[in-house]
Amino acid sequence: MPFISANDIELYYEIHGSGEPLLLIMGLSHNSLSWKRSLPALEEHFQVILFDNRGTGRSSKPETPYSIELMAEDARTVLDAAGVESAHVYGISMGGMIAQRLAIAHPDRVRSLVLGCTTSGGANHVQPHPEVGMAMLSRASASPVEAAWAAVPILYSEGFIQKNRDAIEEDIGTRLQIPTPAQCYMLQLQACLAHDTYDELDRISVPTLVIHGDADLLVPFENGVTLKEKINGAEFFKVPGAGHLYVTEAQDEVNQRVLEFLTKQA
C-alpha cells in the first residue's frame, strides 16, 4: 500500500495491471474504492494507477483550503511516484475537473483524456436545480450514512433507483468503508465551485472522450456538450437515461466505450 509525500500531505495510491499507464481520478468525496465497477475491465488492458484525493480514503485530510489546481498537482506527483512520464487520464465529476487542469498545466504528462459527468465550470456552467445545490450543501451537517442516502436522488436516475436498490446499497457500502469527513467534503466542494477552465479548453490538444448521462441532475448534461464543443476534436458519448453515477447505471456499456477509445490512442 504505497504512499507518496506531496504538497505537505501523504497521498495513497495503487497500481494494477500492465500495459500503457492509465491514471484514474475520482470525484467529490469519493475515494479510489469507488472505481470498483471500472477497474476489472480497465486493468486487463492498461497499467491502472488510482489514488485517494486529498481529504478522502487513506490520503491525508488537511483542513486548509483545497483547489482544483492543487489537486491536479497532487495527481502529477502520483504519476511521478509511479515512475510514469505520461499517462492516459480518466476523471469523473470533480476528477474530470482535475483531469482538465492537469492536461492544461502539464500537457506533456497526458496522452489522452476521458472526462465523465463533469464541467468546465465558471460563468458558463449550467447550474443544477437550486434544490440540488441546497441538498449538496446540507450533506456536510449529516452523518456519513445519512449523507450517502440523501444523495441517492441526486446521483442516480429515478428509473434506476426504482429497480436497482441492491446496486445502490453496494455503492454506499463501498463509500462508507472509509467515510469522508464533513469538513473535507466541504473543502472539496468549495474547490469544485471555484473551478473554471472554460476559456482554456482550447489548450487541450490530446484526444478526448466526453461521457455524460442525459439524466444527470448534479452536473447537467449541457455541461458535457460544452466540453465536447470547446475541446478540439473531442468525441462524445451520451449515456441515455443515466444519472450522475453512470459508472453504476451503465457499467458494461461505458467500460466498453472507454476501452474502445483508449485502445485507439495506445
Give the model confidence (pLDDT) of 84-104 as tens digits.
999 999 999 999 999 999 999
**Residue 1 confidence (pLDDT) above 70:** no
Cell of 103: 492536461
Q: How far apart are CA 81 and CA 3, in angstroms?
A: 9
The percent of residues in the chain predicted with pLDDT above 70, rounded, is 99
Q: How far apart are CA 136 and CA 262, in angstroms?
A: 33
For the ranges 1-5, 80-84, 152-156, 170-174, the lowest mean pLDDT is seen at 1-5
**Mean per-residue pLDDT for 55-61?**
97
DSSP readout, 186-254? Answer: HHHHHHHHH-B-GGGGGG--S-EEEEEETT-SSS-HHHHHHHHHHSTT-EEEEETT--S-HHHHTHHHH
> What CATH number has the domain spanning 3-265?
3.40.50.1820
Threshold 0.95, pTM exceeds: yes
* Alpha carbon 213 to chain centroid, angstroms: 14
46, HSE (Cβ side, Cα atoms, 13 Å) = 28
**Residue 171 confidence (pLDDT) above 70:** yes
Cβ within 8 Å of residue 73, ≥6 positions away: 6, 7, 105
Q: How far apart are CA 207 and CA 247, in angstroms?
A: 21
**Residue 139 confidence (pLDDT) above 80:** no
Are 72 and 65 contacting, i.e. CB atoms less than 8 angstroms apart?
no
Residue 138 has what pLDDT?
79
Domain ranges of the chain: 3-265
140, HSE (Cβ side, Cα atoms, 13 Å) = 13
Q: How confident is the model at residue 17 (pLDDT cuts 50, 70, 90)?
A: very high
* Alpha carbon 166 to chain centroid, angstroms: 23
Sign of CA dihedral 236, 242, 248, 249: negative
Q: Give the tens place of pLDDT for each residue, 148-159.
A: 998 999 999 999
* CB-count burial class (<10 Å; 0-12, 13-18, 19+) for 93: buried
165, HSE (Cβ side, Cα atoms, 13 Å) = 2
Cell of 47: 497499467
Cell of 62: 488537511
